[in-house]
């Protein structure tokens, strides 16, 4: 082997190690393999979410929607009882608990093979949800709004979705000034991941937080460079579903943003997303299937290269 071959081999090994990403999550002893991306269905049990607020206001409607998502292929159902849209009303912990715990219990009873994520930034709600049967915690604040969240995650020994956000849902739209957008967000993740590792938390998913303290242009910059987040060595979650970066860019409404969502989900998959968090499971599953067809052939030589 000549020197150039040795250097090429060393560079390849270095890059593979640098960007190697944990591809499994341990959920109560059951492993989820993210080498094939998975879909997380959104189940908001709030009256004021930006897209589906108050659509699922009865237990029967909630369970029917959960059944639809499971039937369409969702690996996870993300239950949220606190709207984080800009300007959303703050609610007491007791109200959030009332909204989510009965839903988690119902899903566990009716769909025992489905993994449940609790969408909350409050450690008290997170603990109660896990004790009721949820499997992982999805925190939009990345531990910034509840100082007890990280130690709670560590004590519960469950996977944690670490999202980037600045401020609060009420103030985040005024906090979009960054020195260097990608570097600032990756630095945030490095710091938070180090804190979690020191507490013994191993299963961490990173979510860049599309729409949270980012402008429309900043959201597209993050998506365009999503593969850079692989340097963190953690699975990447993309939460793009029907967000304003789509419907504002297309001059449509959130109700009309499904096609745009599928387009951006496909880009996210091509750039390394391991989980898609969506309102529309069927279409996301189709994007996963077709994108995998493309990626399965990326290492195959083009037929044109075999002829001379």
* C-alpha to C-alpha distance for 247 and 253, rounded to whole angstroms: 6
Cβ atoms of 23 and 33 within 8 Å: the answer is yes
Q: Describe the strand order of the beta sheet including 136-139 as a list of residue ranges.
A: 204-207, 160-163, 136-139, 115-119, 76-80, 38-44, 275-278, 237-238
pLDDT at 22: 77
Contacts of 266 (CB under 8 A, 6+ apart): 287, 290, 291
The answer to whether residue 85 is catalytic is no
**What is the distance between the alpha carbons of residues 169 and 141, in angstroms, rounded to a whole number?**
9
**Beta strands at 136-139 and 160-163: parallel, antiparallel or unpaired:** parallel
Query: Of the listed 243, 282, 293, 298, which one is catalytic?
Result: 243
Distance, in Å, from the CA atom of 118 to the CA atom of 134, rounded to the nearest integer, reads 7
Sequence-distant (6+) residues with CB within 8 A of 112 are: none
Catalytic residue at 35?
no
Q: 234 near 193, Cβ under 8 Å?
A: yes
Question: What is residue 165's three-state secondary structure?
Answer: coil
Q: Catalytic residue, from 127, 277, 282, 298: name it.
A: 277
Q: What is the mean pLDDT of each run of 10 residues along the chain (308 residues)?
A: 42 43 89 96 77 62 95 98 80 95 96 97 98 98 97 98 92 93 98 98 97 96 98 97 96 97 98 97 98 83 51
For residue 203, CA distances in Å to 146, 236, 249 come to: 20, 12, 35
Residue 54: the pLDDT is: 52
* CB 207, CB 164: distance < 8 Å: yes
Nearest to 173 by CA among 212, 206, 201: 212
Give the per-residue pLDDT at 167. Answer: 87
* Structural element, H or E, at residue 237: strand 237-238
- Based on its alpha-carbon atoms, the radius of gyration of the chain, rounded to whole angstroms, reads 20
The residue among 147, 104, 143 whose CA lies nearest residue 121 is: 143
pLDDT at res. 180: 97
Q: In sequence order, what DSSP letters do the residues of 257-281 get, joined into one string?
A: -HHHHHHHHHHHHHTT-SEEEES-H
Contact in structure between 80 and 104 (CB atoms under 8 Å): no
What tokens were used for 141?
């604040």
CATH architecture for segment(s) 35-297? Alpha-Beta Barrel (3.20)
Bridge partners (DSSP) of residue 40 are: 76, 277
Two tokens, residue 35: 């080498």
CA distance 24 to 33: 5
Q: How far apart are CA 293 and CA 295, in angstroms?
A: 6
Give the global pTM: 0.88
List all residues 6 or more positions away from 40 whose beta carbon is below 8 Å from its beta carbon.
74, 75, 76, 77, 78, 117, 237, 275, 276, 277, 278
Taking every pair of C-alpha atoms in the chain, what is the biggest distance, in angstroms? 72
């Amino acid at each position: 082997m000549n020197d150039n071959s040795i250097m090429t081999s060393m560079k390849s090994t270095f890059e593979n190690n640098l960007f190697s990403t944990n591809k499994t999550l341990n959920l109560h002893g059951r492993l989820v393999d993210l080498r094939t991306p998975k879909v997380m269905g959104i189940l908001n049990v709030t009256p004021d979410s930006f897209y589906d607020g108050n659509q699922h206001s009865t237990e029967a409607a909630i369970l029917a929607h959960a059944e639809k998502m499971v039937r369409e292929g969702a690996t996870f159902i993300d239950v949220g009882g606190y709207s984080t849209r800009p300007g959303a009303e703050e609610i007491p912990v007791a109200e959030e608990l009332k909204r989510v715990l009965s839903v988690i219990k119902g899903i566990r009873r009716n769909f025992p093979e489905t993994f449940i994520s609790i969408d909350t930034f409050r450690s008290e709600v997170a603990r109660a949800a896990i004790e009721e049967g949820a499997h992982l915690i999805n925190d939009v604040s990345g531990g910034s709004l509840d100082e007890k969240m990280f130690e709670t995650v560590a004590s519960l020994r469950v996977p944690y979705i670490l999202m980037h956000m600045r401020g609060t849902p009420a103030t985040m739209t005024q906090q979009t000034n960054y020195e260097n957008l990608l570097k600032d967000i990756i630095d945030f993740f490095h710091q938070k991941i180090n804190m979690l590792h020191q507490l013994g938390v191993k299963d961490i998913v990173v979510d860049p937080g599309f729409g949270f303290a980012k402008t429309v242009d900043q959201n597209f910059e993050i998506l365009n460079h999503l593969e850079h987040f692989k340097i963190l060595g953690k699975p990447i979650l993309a939460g793009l579903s029907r967000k304003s970066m789509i419907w504002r860019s297309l001059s449509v409404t959130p109700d009309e943003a499904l096609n745009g969502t599928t387009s951006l989900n496909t880009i996210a998959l091509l750039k390394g997303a391991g989980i898609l968090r969506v309102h529309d499971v069927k279409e996301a599953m189709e994007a996963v299937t077709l994108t995998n067809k493309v990626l399965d052939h990326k290492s195959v030589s083009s037929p044109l290269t075999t002829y001379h």
